[in-house]
C-alpha cells in the first residue's frame, strides 16, 4: 500500500535510492523504463493482495455462517471461531479446510519437569532404556532462538514409565503449557483423477503461469 507520509520530490525531479533529488532529464531512459516496470508490477501485486484479503475474510465468514446453519438444525448456537473443520462439495471434488493453530509456549514448570526427569534417569541408571534417554535429550534440545520443540516435549507425555516421579514430571509439563494466541488458516483443495486432493495454491511463488 502507498505510504501517505512519503514526501514527494519537487516538480521535475525524481528521488533516487539514496534520498537525493535528481533532475528528470539527467535520468537515463533505461532507468526510467525499469522504474515504470517495477511500479506497474507492484501496483498489480497490491491489487492482488487486496483481492486475496477479501477472499480470506469471505471464506471465514461463509464457513462460520454455514456452521451456525448446521448447528441450528439441532437447536444449538455456536459462539466464536473454534476448532478445525473440513467441508466437502456434494460430489467430493472440492474440499475447504479451516484450521486454527494455537501458539504454545512453556513456563518455568518445564524446567522443573526436566529436573524431575533427570532424577528419574539417574535412579533408573543401568536398567533404563537408552532409546528413552536419547528421546528425552532430543526433546529438550533448543533451537537458535533458545526454544524447545513443542511437539517433542508434548510427545514425552505419551510414554508410560510406571514411575510416580515420571508421572509428576509429565503433570508438570501439562501444567507448564501456556497458550499465547492462535492463528486461523483456510485452505482450498481439488481432487485429481487419482482421488488425491491437490491444494489450490494462493502463493504466487508456487502458482504456474499460463505461458
- Provide the residue ranges of all domains of the chain, joining segments of one domain with +: 1-81, 83-204
* Mean pLDDT, residues 161-185: 91
Residue-level pLDDT at 30: 98
Q: How confident is residue 15, by pLDDT bands cut at 50, 70 and 90?
A: very high
- For cell 539527467, the residue is 26
Please say if the pLDDT value at position 1 is more than 60.
no
Q: How confident is the model at residue 127 (pLDDT cuts 50, 70, 90)?
A: low
State residue 58's pLDDT score: 95
Share of the chain above pLDDT 90, in %: 59
pLDDT top residue among 121 and 155: 155
For the segment 141-164, the average pLDDT, to the nearest whole number, is 86
SS3 sequence of 73-134: CCCCCCCCCCCCEEEECCCCCEEEEEEEEEEEEECCHHHHHHHHHHHHHHHHHHHCCHHHHH
Residue 2 above 60 pLDDT?
no
Contact by Cβ (8 Å): 87, 95: yes
Q: According to the model, what pLDDT value does residue 7 have?
A: 85
pLDDT digits (tens, 9 = 90+) for 84-115: 999 999 999 999 999 988 889 899 999 999 99
Is 82 a residue whose pLDDT tops 80? Answer: no
Confidence band of 182 (pLDDT split at 50, 70, 90): confident
Averaged pLDDT score across all residues of the chain: 88
Kindly tell me if the per-residue pLDDT of 192 is higher than 90.
yes
Q: Please determine, for residue 211, whether its predicted confidence score (pLDDT) is greater than 60.
A: no
Amino acid at each position: 500500500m502507498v505510504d501517505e507520509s512519503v514526501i514527494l520530490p519537487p516538480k521535475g525531479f525524481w528521488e533516487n535510492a539514496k534520498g537525493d533529488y535528481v533532475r528528470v532529464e539527467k535520468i537515463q531512459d533505461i532507468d526510467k523504463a525499469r522504474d515504470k516496470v517495477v511500479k506497474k508490477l507492484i501496483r498489480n501485486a497490491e491489487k492482488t493482495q487486496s483481492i486475496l484479503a477479501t477472499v480470506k475474510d469471505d471464506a471465514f465468514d461463509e464457513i462460520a455462517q454455514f456452521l451456525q446453519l448446521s448447528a441450528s438444525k439441532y437447536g444449538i448456537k455456536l459462539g466464536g471461531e473454534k476448532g478445525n473443520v473440513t467441508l466437502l462439495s456434494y460430489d467430493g471434488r472440492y474440499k475447504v479446510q479451516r484450521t486454527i493453530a494455537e501458539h504454545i509456549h512453556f513456563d518455568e514448570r518445564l524446567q522443573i519437569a526436566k529436573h524431575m526427569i533427570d532424577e528419574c534417569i539417574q535412579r533408573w541408571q543401568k536398567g533404563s532404556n537408552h532409546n528413552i534417554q536419547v528421546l528425552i535429550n532430543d526433546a529438550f534440545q533448543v533451537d537458535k532462538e533458545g526454544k524447545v520443540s513443542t511437539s517433542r516435549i508434548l510427545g514425552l507425555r505419551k510414554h508410560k514409565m510406571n514411575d510416580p516421579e515420571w508421572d509428576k514430571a509429565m503433570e508438570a509439563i501439562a501444567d507448564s503449557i501456556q497458550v499465547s494466541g492462535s492463528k486461523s488458516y483456510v485452505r482450498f483443495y481439488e481432487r485429481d483423477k487419482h482421488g488425491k486432493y491437490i491444494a489450490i495454491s494462493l502463493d504466487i511463488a508456487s502458482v504456474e503461469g499460463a505461458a
